[in-house]
Chains A and B, each alone.
Chain A
Amino acid sequence: DAGVTQSPTHLIKTRGQHVTLRCSPISGHKSVSWYQQVLGQGPQFIFQYYEKEERGRGNFPDRFSARQFPNYSSELNVNALLLGDSALYLCASSFGTGGAEAFFGQGTRLTVV
């Protein structure tokens, strides 16, 4: 059984650029959440999508956006990258929304230079 897959695994971008991160959830899971994990800290919630609708948004600027596709895969987009956006971006897949078991992918390590 394939777990949560994220691409790419590593990415280096320059300040001011745009980035798109991708996530494929576990088969049958309809909810995808995105988290940002800065080195040495716990993951911070960015977005949750369920059945292609946004169900929650964390305290992140409008430079961050996301969407979910009909096959339940998801994209996280970040515009006008800042050095502080350097982090591990995690995607979590669950069958339903909060209170359901959530399984994380291996993450995308974004470095902004």
Chain B
Amino acid sequence: GENVEQHPSTLSVQEGDSAVIKCTYSDSASNYFPWYKQELGKGPQLIIDIRSNVGEKKDQRIAVTLNKTAKHFSLHITETQPEDSAVYFCAASNYGQNFVFGPGTRLSVLP
């Protein structure tokens, strides 16, 4: 079955700096890769996603890149703000299948 690894497990950045979180997946059949942000006491919130026919997608300060050959995908947050502090999860799925999540990255944005 699918296995998703995520690095780093914790990340601290200064406000205004960029943050990058990387994930790898094992199943070459996976073709949908969402990213979720989870704040304390809340459910995961979908922030961006990418499908296997696209190499990069951007939404304001957030971007995701996908390298299908290497089975890597990454989340990039630019101009970080304190409200970006949360736990971020990557996930992978194949159409018709469930999501497999990575273990999460705790991002702290220091003012």
Contacts and interface: CB of A to CB of B under 8 A. Distances in A.
Interface residues of A, number: 26
Q: How large is the interface on B (under 10, 10 to 19, 20 to 34, 35 or more residues)?
A: 20 to 34
Contacts of B32: 98-99
Nearest to A99: B95
B73 interface: no
Contact of B100 (A45, A92, A102, A104): A45
A8 interface: no
Contacts, number: 68
A97 B51 CA distance: 15
A56 interface: yes
Contacts of B31: 99
Interface string B86-102: 00010101111111111
Interface string A37-61: 0001111110010000001101000
Given A90-B43, A102-B46, A106-B42, 8 more contacts: A42-B6, A43-B44, A43-B99, A55-B96, A58-B98, A90-B44, A92-B99, A98-B97
Interface of A: 4, 6, 33, 35, 40-45, 48, 55-56, 58, 90, 92, 97-99, 101-107
